[in-house]
A and B are shown apart, each in its own frame.
Chain A
Amino acid sequence: MTARADVAEASGATAGATGRRSAIAAGVGRYGLLLVALPGVVVVVLAIIGPWIAPHPLGASVAPPFEPPSDDHLFGTDRLGRDLWSQALHGGRRLLIVPLLAAIATVFVGGAVGMIAGYLRGRIDALILATLDLLLVLPGVLVLLVLATGWGAGPLVIVIAMVLTGSPFLARLARTATREVSQAPFVQVSVTQGDGTFTILRRDVLPNVLGPLLADSGMRFLGALYLVAALSLLGFGPQTPETDWGVMIRENAEGAGLNIWGLALPAMMIALLSIAVNVVLQTVSDRFAR
C-alpha cells in the first residue's frame, strides 16, 4: 500500500514543476499573490494581539443573546449574549499556537524518520515503510478521537495525533531525498573518513533534504489547524468560558437564523488564516523550485 505515499511524493515532484506556479504567477503577478494573503495576515495579527484589544473580557455576557450587529456590538452577540467580536479576538491564539507546535513536531519527527529510513536502507527501511503505510490509511480525525477518548483533547494529544498522521507524508519525502543524496560523492567521502551516522545525516544530508520538508510544512500547519478546529467543533475542545473559532461555530450554528455572524465570523477567520498560510507557502516553495 504505497498509494497515498506516491501521491505525497508526486506533490513535491510534479506539482511545482508542471506550471501551477507559472499559471498563478502570470495571472496575479509577482506580489499579487501575497496581496491575496493580506487579509489573512491581518487575521494572524488580530489573533495574537486580540485578547489585549478586545472591547469586552472573555466570556462576559453584555447583551441579550443573538442580537444582530449594532453600533455597540460590531458583529452582534452570541447565544449567551457575549460580544461576538470580543469572543473572536479571544479565541484566535489557541488556533495559532497549537497547530504551530504540531507542525514543528511533525516536520521534525517525519524528517528524522525519513532520513534514517533512507540512509540506513535494508531491514530498518522496510520496517519503517510498512509502519508508514499503516498510518497513511488512518484519517487524522480518527486517530485524534481515539487518543482523545482516554487522554482528553489537550494540546499534547493533538500534537501526537498530528505527528502520527501527518509525518508519514513528510517521512516519505525525506526518505526519497535522502536516498538520492546518500549516493553523492561528498557523502561517500564522509563515510570513508569514518564519520558517525548522526554527523553525516546532520551535516551532509539534512541541508539537501530541508527544502522539500519546509515546502511541505505549511500543509502540516493547515492539517493541524483543521484537527484543532474540528475537535473544538465536535465539542472536545476548550470548555466554557475558554473559546476558539471552532467552539464558536459549534455554539452559534443553531442561532444562525437570528444572527448569521455567530457562524460566519469564526468561519471567515479560519478561512482567511488558511488561505494566507497556503498562499505564503505556495510563494515560498516556488522560490525553492526556481
Chain B
Amino acid sequence: MSARPNPLVRAVVRRLAASVAVLLGVSILLFSATVVLPGDPATRILGREATPENVEALREQMGLDRPVPVQYADWLGGVVTGDLGTASSGRPVGPLLRERASNSLVLAAFAATLTVAIALVVGVASGLRVGRPEDSALSVAALVGVSIPDFVVAGVLVSLFAFTIEWFPPVSLVLAGGSPLDRPSILVLPAVALAVPAGAWASRYVRAAVVDARTAPNVEAARLAGLSPQRVLFRHLLPGVIGPTAQVLAAATGFLVGGSVVVEQIFAYPGMGSLLASAVAVEDIDVILATGLAMAVAVVTSFLLADLAGALANPRLRTGL
C-alpha cells in the first residue's frame, strides 16, 4: 500500500475491521449462549440412563472438562480453519453447511432482487406522485404489505398458486446433490413470500428519499436546464436516492435471513434456515453455532455492501464513510 492510501480504500478497510470485530463479538455471544444452556451435551448423546463414569469419560473426550474460554478458543480456531465440528448425525458440519448455505444463497439472491425491485418501483412511483391518489393507494398497499408476516404471505401464495391454480409446486424440494436451479420454479413462491413484506417495508423509506430528492438543488438545476424528465430521473434524482436507501435495503435483506428460517421450513426447502430449525429440534449444538454464525455473516455482509454502494453513489461519502 502506498503511504497515502485513497480515503475510500481506508474507509473500506476500517469498515471491514469493524465488521470482523462485530462478528467476533457475535461468536462470543453465541458460544456463551450455548454454554449457559441447561443440559450437558455428553448426557444428551449417551441418554439419561448413562453411568456418571461414562458421561465423565465422554465429556473429557469432547473437551467439555476444559475451561470455557479454552473451549471457545478451540471452537473459533476450528471455524477459522474451516472445521465447524460434527453434527449429531456424525457428518462434519462444514460440507453440510456449505451445501445448505449455497441453497439459501440462491433463494436469498432471488428474494433480495425482488425486494429491491418492489422497494424501488413502489417507492419511486409513489414518491414522484406525492399527494396524489396513486401515492395514497400505494402507501396503503405498502402498509398492508409490511403488516403481513412472510409465512402468512407464503400461506396465501400456496393456497392460491399451488392449490387453486396449480402454477407452482407447494413444496420446494431439492434432490440430494442437485441444485435448486435445476427447477427454478420451486424458488418463485418462497422468494415472493420473503420479498413482499421486506420490499413493502423498504419502499416507505425509498418514497421518503424520493420526496426529499425531488427538491434537491442538483435536481432542480437539471430540471431548469431543460433536461428530459427521464434524464433528470435516472441521472440526477435516483443517484441521490441510492445513498440514503442503501442502508434500508441492506436491513431489508437482513430481514430475509431471519425470515428464511420459517419460509424455508414451510416449503421444505433445504437451506440454512431449515437446517437451523431441525438442529434445534435435536439440540445439535455444533450445527446451531455454525448456522448462527453464518447468518450473522450474511447480515453483516449485506450492511457492508450497502455502505459500499452508498459510498460509491455519493461523492461526499467517499471521504467520511
Interface residues of A, Cβ cutoff 8 Å to B:
1, 3-4, 6-7, 10-11, 14-15, 18-20, 22-24, 26-28, 36, 130, 133-135, 137-143, 145-151, 222, 225-226, 229-230, 233-236, 246, 249, 253, 256-257, 260, 263-264, 266-267, 270-271, 274-275, 277-279, 282
Contacts and interface: CB of A to CB of B under 8 A. Distances in A.
Given A139-B261, A256-B159, A275-B147, A151 B37 contact: yes
B300 interface: yes
A110 B151 CA distance: 27
B216 interface: no
Contact of A142 (B22, B137, B285, B292): B292
Contacts of A133: 22, 25
Given A14-B208, A23-B130, A149-B34, A271 B258 contact: no
B148 interface: yes
Contacts of A130: 25
A7 B251 contact: yes
22 contacts: A1-B303, A7-B247, A11-B205, A23-B135, A26-B136, A27-B136, A27-B139, A134-B25, A137-B254, A138-B299, A139-B258, A142-B276, A146-B30, A149-B34, A149-B37, A149-B280, A149-B283, A234-B277, A267-B152, A267-B155, A271-B156, A275-B147
Main secondary structure of the interface of A (DSSP, over half): helix
Contact of B38 (A19, A150, A249, A271): A150
B320 to A, nearest CB: 14
Given A134-B25, A279-B143, A1 B300 contact: yes
B254 A4 contact: yes
Main secondary structure of the interface of B (DSSP, over half): helix
B139 A24 contact: yes
Nearest to B35: A150
A146 B290 CA distance: 12
A234 B299 CA distance: 22
A119 to B, nearest CB: 24
Contacts of A229: 149, 151
B143 A278 contact: yes
Indicate the member of B33, B139, B164 with the most A CB atoms within 10 Å: B139
B132 to A, nearest CB: 9
A271 B164 contact: no
Contact of B148 (A20, A135, A275): A275
Contacts of B38: 150-151
A271 B152 contact: yes
A256 B163 contact: yes
A137 B300 contact: yes
B180 interface: no
A260 B161 CA distance: 12
B306 A3 contact: yes
B296 interface: yes
Nearest to A263: B155
Contacts of A11: 205
Nearest to A152: B38
Nearest to A146: B33
Contact of B22 (A1, A18, A266): A1
A264 B155 CA distance: 7
B288 A23 contact: no
B295 A233 contact: no
B164 A18 contact: no
Contacts of B307: 3
Contact of B147 (A15, A26, A278): A278
Contacts of B156: 264, 267, 271
Contacts of B152: 249, 267, 270-271, 274
B262 interface: yes
A10 B143 contact: no
B159 A270 contact: no
A20 B212 CA distance: 12
Contacts of A266: 155
A145 to B, nearest CB: 5
A236 B277 CA distance: 9
Contacts of A279: 143, 147
B172 interface: no
Nearest to A260: B159
B147 A257 contact: no
Interface in B202-226: 204-205, 207-208, 211-212
Interface in B151-170: 151-152, 155-156, 158-159, 162-164, 170
A271 B148 contact: yes
Contacts of A264: 155-156, 159
Q: 3 tightest CB-CB pairs across the interface, nearest first?
A: A27-B136, A150-B37, A139-B258
